[in-house]
Amino acid sequence: MNIEEFTDKFSCVAQEHPLLTVCRSTPKTKCSTDQQFTLNFYSIILNKHKSGVFQYGRTKYDGDNGSMYFMKPGQTIMGENLEWGMDGFNLSFKEDYLVGHPLHSEIKKYRYFDYEVNEALHLSPGEEQTMKELYTKIETEYFNNQDEFSREIILGHIASILRYSQRFYKRQFLHRTELSGKLISRFNEQLLAYYESGQLSEFGLPSVKYMANQLHLSSRYLSDVLKQETGKTAIDLIHTFLISEAKNLLKGTGLSVSEIAYSLGFENHPYFSRLFKRVSGVTPNEFKNQPLN
């Protein structure tokens, strides 16, 4: 789906630029695609989802909080009888609009473009006002006889929206864990279940994608929340868990280092030993021979 088709679904006015479109939505705005489409542009939407189904990624979303959604080229979306519930906006632009500007590379660093719809950014009233003010500045520039300065000004405001979104997501990571319980606890429970079920020796190390699926999250969202909670990435935490189990096996069984490595899903014995030393500061054999205090 191209920008023209996408914005037509939102009943937007005619585009002023072939690579960029801005569109306000109201509670009367309706959108229905009734089928999946793959985008060839970036899109940032602020609105309250009143009714219907909105989907990108694997997950359908039917909540009603004021939220921001971030989609990128190649993302598949779907809307069924979709109605918005507040005055919001849709800001869409092709990657070519960013060419020659620092935002062309910076935008790839914002991991929330890989989140799923149920991991949308939920704004406080103050945060919502900030985003609306930035959008209004873009809209004013967009419809005000664009000149050689317009693109630079608009991209500056888009960059601000993205940076504020990064800040607000960090706030969300902290506040939402208070409601749903620390994600690290749920993460470790899934790791323990994987280990105790014997899947380590059968299938090897669990991937971040596997862990995210078990927790009904996207890989990027899982890693970012864990990083915020613990200062460590998901793969770091998987390794820390396994080294802890390895220590127990080294001290509590007569298994060799290679046998323990294999039982914990490491097919490469030297890699296990290097990882063990990086995490623990000593090699597996040195740890095994240390006296218990």
Query: How much is the average pLDDT of 79-103?
Result: 83
Report the distance separating Cα 169 and Cα 159, nearest Å. 15
The better pLDDT of the pair 84, 196 is held by 196
Residue 49 binned pLDDT confidence (cut-offs 50, 70, 90): low
Burial 75-96 (b: 16+ CB within 10 A, else e): bebbbbebbbbbebbbbbbbee
Element (H, E) at 37: strand 37-38
pLDDT tier at 34, thresholds 50, 70, 90 = low
HEC readout, 232-264 = CCHHHHHHHHHHHHHHHHHHHCCCCHHHHHHHC
Question: Across the strands, what pairs with 82?
Answer: 31
Residue 94 and residue 3 in contact, taking contact as beta carbons nearer than 8 Å: yes
Report the alpha-carbon distance of residue 269 to residue 275 in Å, rounded. 10
Helix (H, G, I), strand (E, B) or coil at 58: coil
pLDDT in tens, 238-275: 988 888 888 888 888 888 888 888 888 887 888 889 99
Asked if pLDDT for residue 76 goes beyond 80, the answer is no
Burial 48-71 (b: 16+ CB within 10 A, else e): bbeeeebbbbeeebeeeebbbbbb
Residue 63: predicted pLDDT: 45
Share of the chain above pLDDT 90, in %: 22
pTM over 0.75? The answer is: no
* 208-244 residue pLDDT tens: 999 998 888 888 888 888 888 788 888 988 988 888 8
